[in-house]
Structure 1
C-alpha cells in the first residue's frame, strides 16, 4: 500500500514540476509574452533557463519512474539466518508442495497455490482423485505429506494445508473376453 502511495505522490510531483518548468521555459524564451521584466541581467536569464531545463528533465525522469513496473522483485519468502539472507521463490514452494502431494497414491492432476501469513505458509492443493481410496484418509495423507515435506525442506513454518478435491477420474473398466 505504501509503495502505491509513494508512486502516486511521485507521479503528481513530477507532473506539477514538469508543467511549471515548461511554463518557465516558455516565459523565459519569449514564447509567452510576460507583462513585466523580472530578469534584467543576461546571467540571471541564462541561469533561470538552465534551472527550468534541469527541473524539466528531472520531472521526466520521475514521471518515468512513477509509471514503470517493478520487474526486479519476484514474489518470494525471505529468511534471515546467521550466515545471511535466503530468498525462496513462491514457484519453488509450489513445486515442493506438488512433489510431496504427488507421492500419495490415488492423487492426479495437482495444482497448488501458496499464500504467506503471519503464522506461516498457507498451502492450497487442488487435486483429482481416482475414487478407489477413502477421501478422508487420502486428503489427510496429502496434508501430512505436504506439511512435513515443505516445512522440512524450506525451514519455513507451514500454518495450514488445504486440500480441494475437484473431481474423480474414471478408471477404465476392462472386461475380459472369454471365447
Structure 2
C-alpha cells in the first residue's frame, strides 16, 4: 500500500514540478507578457482565490519533498539478503550469511577438508550453494566432494527447511603435507 502511495505522490510531484518548469521557461523566454506576470504576483498577494491554492500546492510539494528525502536516506529492512518463509504462526527470515555458516559447519565435518568458503544464492528451485575448499591431498577428491555435497545438502535442508537445488564444490588447492625427514646421525 505504501509503495502505491509513494508512486502516486511521485506522479503528482513530477507533474507539479513539470508545470512549474514550463511556466518559468516560458516566462524566461519572454513569451509571457510582463503585465500578466505582474498581475499573477499581485493576485498572490491580494487575492485569496489565487493565494490559497498556491499555498496548498506549495505545502504539498514541501511535504512530498520531505517524504522522498526520508525514503531516500532511511535504512530499509531489505538491506540484508535473506530467505523469507511464511508459516502458520508467522514469518521467518533467514539471512544468506546464516545459510553460508551452516554450509561451512557441515562441510567442515568431512575429513580431509582444510579451508573453505561458501557462497549461497537463491533460485526458483531452491538454494544454490558453492563451496570453495582446500583439501589435504590424502583422500580421493571425488569422494570428498560427494561427502561434502551430501553433508551440506542434508544439513541445510534439515536445519532450515529450505530445499537445496544444488551444492557445487570447487577444489581450489591441495594442502602441502609437512613431511619431516628424520636425520639419522
Q: TM-score, normalised by structure 2?
A: 0.76
- How far, CA to CA, are the matches of 1:81 and 1:49 in structure 2? 51
For 1:35, the equivalent position in structure 2 comes to 36
- How far, CA to CA, are the matches of 1:49 and 1:34 in structure 2? 19
Deviation at 1:61, TM superposition (A): 2.7
5+ long unaligned stretches in structure 1: 28-32
- How far, CA to CA, are the matches of 2:60 and 2:102 in structure 1? 51
Structure 1 residue 45 corresponds to structure 2 residue 46: no
- Closer, same or farther: CA 10–65 of 1 in aligned 2, 3 Å: farther
- How far, CA to CA, are the matches of 2:118 and 2:169 in structure 1? 9
SS for the counterpart of 1:105 is: coil
Query: How do 1:156-175 and structure 2 match up within 5 A?
Result: 156-175=162-181
For 1:119, the equivalent position in structure 2 comes to 125
- Which structure has more relative contact order (CA 8 Å, sep 6+)? It is 1
For 2:31, the equivalent position in structure 1 comes to none
Contact 1:78 1:85 in 2 (8 A): yes
Q: Which has the higher helix share?
A: 2
SS for the counterpart of 1:132 is: coil
Query: How do 1:130-141 and structure 2 match up within 5 A?
Result: 130-141=136-147
What per-residue deviation string (whole Å, max 9, x for no partner) do you get for residues 98-152 of structure 1? 0000111111221111111111111111111111110000000000000011100
- How far, CA to CA, are the matches of 1:56 and 1:83 in structure 2? 42
Query: How do 1:54-73 and structure 2 match up within 5 A?
Result: 54-64=59-69, 67-68=72-73, 71-73=76-78
Cα RMSD (Å): 3.3
- How far, CA to CA, are the matches of 2:18 and 2:60 in structure 1? 10
For 2:100, the equivalent position in structure 1 comes to 94
For 2:160, the equivalent position in structure 1 comes to 154
- How far, CA to CA, are the matches of 1:175 and 1:10 in structure 2? 77
Deviates more, 1:73-82 or 1:38-47: 38-47
- How far, CA to CA, are the matches of 1:135 and 1:118 in structure 2? 30
Deviates more, 1:74-83 or 1:131-140: 74-83
Contact 1:126 1:163 in 2 (8 A): yes
Paired positions, count: 170
Q: TM-score, normalised by structure 1?
A: 0.78
SS for the counterpart of 2:36 is: coil
Contact 2:110 2:148 in 1 (8 A): yes
